[in-house]
């Protein structure tokens, strides 16, 4: 009996591991997200971004409720990295700023946590319904 249980576990274990690694599949990121932070000067900064299934994004950043930046482009995932490719920006961007990379800390149905490679800061996005 014990060998039967071990054989069953060995059979289903690969599918369990695969299910856990699929958490970082692109479909897990698709949706509307918002991150809110307080700057050192007390300003409230909110980043709203929509990650589309066709691997494009649209976003807007507000400071104290006023639009500060609109942007759009494409996104990709490489291993544990989330890569932003900015194509349109309401503020000037240098060529080197047009690609930004964040480390994926976690993603689930309600929260996306990214660690900025540029600033070293961690940002927590909440899924908007």
Give all domains of the chain, ordered by start, each with its CATH number.
26-127 (2.40.128.370)
Three-state secondary structure string covering 44-68? EEEEEEEECCCCEEEEEEEECCEEE
**Each residue's pLDDT tens digit, 6-38:** 333 333 433 333 333 334 689 999 999 999 999
Mean pLDDT by 10 residues, the chain (129 residues): 36 37 75 96 98 98 98 96 98 95 96 95 96
| Burial degree of 32 (CB within 10 A; 0-12, 13-18, 19+) | middle
Quote the pLDDT of residue 6.
38
Structure tokens at 52: 């589309």
Quote the pLDDT of residue 129.
85
Quote the pLDDT of residue 24.
67
Quote the pLDDT of residue 80.
94
């Amino acid at each position: 009996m014990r060998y039967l249980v071990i054989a069953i576990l060995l059979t289903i274990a690969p599918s369990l591991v695969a299910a856990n690694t699929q958490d970082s599949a692109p479909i897990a990121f698709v949706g509307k997200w918002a991150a809110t932070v307080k700057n050192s000067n007390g300003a409230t900064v909110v980043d709203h971004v929509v990650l589309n299934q066709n691997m494009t994004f649209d976003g807007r950043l507000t400071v104290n409720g006023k639009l500060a930046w609109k942007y759009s482009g494409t996104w990709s995932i490489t291993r544990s990295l989330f890569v932003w490719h900015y194509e349109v920006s309401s503020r000037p961007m240098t060529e080197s700023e047009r690609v930004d990379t964040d480390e994926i800390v976690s993603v689930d149905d309600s929260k996306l946590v990214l660690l900025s490679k540029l600033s070293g800061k961690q940002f927590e996005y909440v899924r908007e319904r």
